[in-house]
Structure 1
């Protein structure tokens, strides 16, 4: 969450094309509720909606606007699994943990699609995403990736090599690709806005412009805001990269990271068919990856790069445009209409952090770039915990939450050094 007073959405393509949504009043005065959710992004709204469907009385506190953070700024790609896949999980944490997390690896995707159908959410859903290999080593990695995901139940995968890949992406950069036909892409801000409206239709309450400034733990938890307070029997902390200063006990175990996105002017139909003929979302296999797709109105949305610590570059277009032109040199004369950045939260082991601070305070965060799907899974698991079924939540909560080497002072330079090493390996094809 951000603590900025009266913060509005950044000037992104998503904000410019968002569906109408009301401005929710800031919390004024002292109230009580059964469950208070802190943060109105995907994690918070998914949790709130699942809980409201179970009949809980839920209040959501949001420091800015619904979807203000990563949930309303990301690439809009529905990517399955986690930032570290099941083979890594199995090697580090054992077969039982890998099986438990693997059984949930594709569930966030299904939840998103269930929500869209159930509540008729208008969010420009399209099917299919593609992982593009920049060299032979990455292509072999995709071959292994396909076998791994098929082992855990995804049967909608297709490996492409050579010309077959170039028929899907009109770029000379790639040697092959893995298509996940079960994936997809959408307008993320409209997805979270639609779910917020669904939550309110069930009696839920959202207070925007209500940053949490203090938390007092106890049998009843008290959350203070600039103009009021909430006393709740249970609390869900769901601010992710925008929760800085509220939960200092977690901050050393995660790090905000910035990523940048641009969106072009609308492109002609013929050019779009040349670039991505089947309108899938694409991401490459580099450590510092590029990702792109077409919007509903025919713009190329292109993102990439990571700023450790979450600082914004001075000129976002100057950072992203060269990446876009390396992939698609035919766009040299195309205008950039929107450019923005936002923060996601990265963990040291690149796995999400779910857990409890006390018996009645839960948290879910740190998706490390895979938040669109995993945040929706988090909401379902939090609702399961609150009805007394903690097995699946605890499969995540049992993962170690590791501090970054060097603490808050050195985590940024050390992470940047590690990223430089892996980016160099990508360029050399190691």
Structure 2
């Protein structure tokens, strides 16, 4: 079934199958990311390498995954610390970060076409547990030395327009890529270094005894000093004991038709987003305005078309403003998980090496594994022994698969119920706050009303016009001048005669 990756892959010619006998230093079985990285790094060190691929390069999980490139492993680091101790776990974490840098540097230095790395990864919490998120940020930042940011709910919801998320951890140095185009570019780099890659050349049998090992294919044979098994759950009868240590896990992915501006309005963050440890949603924007969304897990293969409605419902639950999302591509991919959820890296027997079990966290860890095995085979380096505590443990066969399926269902249900309860608590808190604000407003109105009853605010009489004011009784009145008899007054003084 075609994927969005195959629809947007860079054109490459098919490699011919092996039709003759060859003799090399190392034979790598599996042309996924682990096998291609191993082949490239061995060839760069001057050794001869042949890669046998049963179908096409990166046809399985390596070319069908979400494309997230992160530090760490599928196993939570608290489990790793519990198993091997802090200093050992810290060394493993550093190796996982080396894998991340290797991928980024390879893309940049070789200018691999169509890979399109975009920075950032956000792990959003569906429950309002800021203390736990803060503790995680401190552990990874202070103890493991990772560049990490704690985003509060407001910042998360500013870029992811949904009430489904609260706090989040942000890894600014993580990124996401087109994994199939990365694998195709890696194959060309391996060939440029001297490796030979044969497609449609399944390994039918191996003889790992002796100094020179033998691998048979339908039309040819390989003799090699070392064999690297890098085919994960597809080992099958080639190495049944090793194959029995992995649980096959299928996940389901869709990509939407172009959504235009409504996608940017709902999701303005362009990094990868994860809101779960196991079961639910992993997504990112691809092709400018398409949504790539994966979720749901089965331990038996199912028709991916059965999951279209479920994945559409998941999108609608988180981003109802997107409306009905038309789906253009749907596919599944199978990965291999050990019970401890850590990679299987190291020497199984003299000259027989294993790179497997990357468990849904594979782009950085396959790069890490390829470098570790190349150093071990060519240089005798023993870094691979850091993974020795994570043994090859039988995964339980069909019973183990059934138990794992039940576990995923339980985790999925638990996460959904916890998320719903968190949203309900937030909504109830909002309503309580609104009621409190309403009561406060009613109280203020009531106080004003009671004050008005004590001191009636009667309307005052209008002030009289100045013209209507009464006369001031103290103001001086106009007094008529008395009449004066002026007879004789005007006569000269000397003329007056006294009586």
**TM-score tier (shorter):** over 0.9
Counterpart in 1 of 2:185?
A: 194
Pick from 214, 222, 232 the counterpart of residue 224 of structure 2: 232
Counterpart in 1 of 2:409?
A: 420
Q: Are 2:266 and 2:322, in contact at CA under 8 Å, matched by a contact in 1? A: no
Q: Which runs of structure 2 are paired with 1:147-296 in the superposition (5 Å)?
A: 147-218=138-209, 219-268=211-260, 270-296=261-287
Aligned length: 417
Distance 1:274 1:322 in 2: 19
Pick from 396, 421, 424 the counterpart of residue 387 of structure 2: 396
| Pair 293,359 (structure 1): closer, same or farther in 2 beyond 3 Å | same
Instruction: Please report how far the alpha carbon of residue 226 of structure 1 lies from its aligned counterpart in structure 2 after TM superposition.
Output: 1.2
Q: Which runs of structure 2 are paired with 1:297-336 in the superposition (5 Å)?
A: 297-336=288-327
More strand by share: 1
| Pair 286,330 (structure 1): closer, same or farther in 2 beyond 3 Å | farther
Distance 1:86 1:157 in 2: 15
| Pair 264,313 (structure 1): closer, same or farther in 2 beyond 3 Å | closer
| Pair 312,247 (structure 1): closer, same or farther in 2 beyond 3 Å | farther
Instruction: Please report how far the alpha carbon of residue 96 of structure 1 lies from its aligned counterpart in structure 2 after TM superposition.
Output: 3.9
Distance 1:230 1:297 in 2: 45
Distance 1:322 1:389 in 2: 52
Q: Are 1:124 and 1:296, in contact at CA under 8 Å, matched by a contact in 2? A: no
CA-based RMSD of the aligned residues comes to 1.7
2:83 corresponds to 1:92: yes
2:112 corresponds to 1:121: yes
Counterpart in 1 of 2:94?
A: 103
Counterpart in 2 of 1:429?
A: 418
Instruction: Please report how far the alpha carbon of residue 308 of structure 1 lies from its aligned counterpart in structure 2 after TM superposition.
Output: 1.0
Distance 1:157 1:142 in 2: 11
Distance 1:15 1:297 in 2: 17
Counterpart in 2 of 1:29?
A: 20
Instruction: Please report how far the alpha carbon of residue 152 of structure 1 lies from its aligned counterpart in structure 2 after TM superposition.
Output: 4.6
Instruction: Please report how far the alpha carbon of residue 34 of structure 1 lies from its aligned counterpart in structure 2 after TM superposition.
Output: 0.8
Distance 2:373 2:256 in 1: 38
Distance 2:375 2:143 in 1: 22
Distance 1:295 1:181 in 2: 18
Distance 2:67 2:236 in 1: 24
Distance 2:324 2:105 in 1: 40
TM-score between both structures, scaled by the size of structure 1:
0.93
Q: Which runs of structure 2 are paired with 1:34-73 in the superposition (5 Å)?
A: 34-73=25-64
Pick from 346, 365, 373 the counterpart of residue 382 of structure 1: 373
Pick from 121, 125, 132 the counterpart of residue 133 of structure 1: 125
Counterpart in 2 of 1:352?
A: 343
Q: Are 2:266 and 2:321, in contact at CA under 8 Å, matched by a contact in 1? A: no
Q: Which has the higher contact order (CA 8 A, sep 6+)?
A: 1
Any unmatched runs of 5+ in structure 1? 1-9
Q: Are 2:24 and 2:223, in contact at CA under 8 Å, matched by a contact in 1? A: yes
Distance 1:402 1:372 in 2: 23
Distance 1:359 1:398 in 2: 19
Q: Are 1:257 and 1:307, in contact at CA under 8 Å, matched by a contact in 2? A: yes
Q: Are 1:352 and 1:367, in contact at CA under 8 Å, matched by a contact in 2? A: yes
Q: Are 1:129 and 1:179, in contact at CA under 8 Å, matched by a contact in 2? A: yes
Distance 1:196 1:352 in 2: 22
| Pair 311,32 (structure 1): closer, same or farther in 2 beyond 3 Å | farther
Counterpart in 2 of 1:373?
A: 364
Instruction: Please report how far the alpha carbon of residue 276 of structure 1 lies from its aligned counterpart in structure 2 after TM superposition.
Output: 2.3
**Structure 1, 388-397 or 219-228: larger mean CA deviation:** 388-397
Counterpart in 1 of 2:481?
A: none
**Structure 1, 257-266 or 234-243: larger mean CA deviation:** 234-243
Q: Are 2:134 and 2:150, in contact at CA under 8 Å, matched by a contact in 1? A: yes
Q: Are 2:213 and 2:225, in contact at CA under 8 Å, matched by a contact in 1? A: yes
Distance 2:72 2:234 in 1: 23
More helix by share: 2
